[in-house]
């Protein structure tokens, strides 16, 4: 009977984790899209504003001298506006569904086997495997972190509940 509960727990962790993770990612995207592009209360927004300033505007002008005005930004053309609405190449991480199922299986199995250290191996393998894609696209890196944490929390919760109540 214990074997059946283990199999059902692994299936619940792997298969039912996808809708949960997908829902959290949708919620994160909705929250991101609902606010203004820059918020005065968001410390990370300052970095984005600083990156848009020209080099001359970043250095304060000496007292009594006129500060150079920043260069005007060109108006978006239909081609550039269309590009900004589409995801950047590489921003969608391929194979995420299969990797997520395998990740949840590994995490749940490690919790059921009382080997939580194995979760560190899963995180390391997943992070190293995606490093090249993630360093170039911050949006994909944020999505990766949200998805990974949600997926792992789901797998740990299902396996811990099964271990506590069924095994």
Residue that is written with structure tokens 């194979």 in the block: 95
Query: What are the tens digits of pLDDT across the range 13-72?
Result: 999 998 999 999 999 998 888 876 655 555 454 444 444 444 444 445 455 545 455 555
Q: Looking at the whole model, is its pTM more than 0.75?
A: no
* Separation between Cα atoms, residue 100 and residue 143, nearest integer Å: 13
Q: In sequence order, what DSSP letters do the residues of 14-54 get, joined into one string?
A: HHTHHHHHHHHHHHHHHHHHHS-SS-TT-HHHHHHHHHHS-
């Amino acid at each position: 009977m214990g074997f059946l509960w283990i199999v059902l727990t692994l299936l619940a962790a792997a298969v039912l984790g996808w809708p949960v993770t997908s829902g959290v990612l949708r919620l994160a995207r909705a929250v991101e899209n609902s606010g203004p592009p820059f918020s005065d209360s968001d410390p990370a927004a300052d970095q984005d504003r600083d990156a848009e300033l020209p080099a001359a505007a970043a250095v304060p002008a000496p007292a009594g001298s006129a500060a150079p005005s920043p260069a005007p930004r060109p108006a978006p053309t239909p081609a550039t506006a269309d590009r900004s609405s589409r995801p950047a190449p590489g921003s969608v991480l391929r194979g995420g569904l299969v990797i997520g199922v395998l990740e949840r299986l590994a995490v749940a199995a490690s919790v059921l086997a009382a080997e939580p250290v194995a979760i560190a191996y899963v995180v390391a393998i997943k992070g190293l495997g995606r490093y090249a894609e993630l360093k170039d696209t911050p949006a994909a890196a944020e999505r990766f972190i949200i998805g990974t944490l949600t997926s792992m929390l789901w797998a740990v919760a299902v396996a811990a509940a099964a271990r506590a109540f069924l095994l």
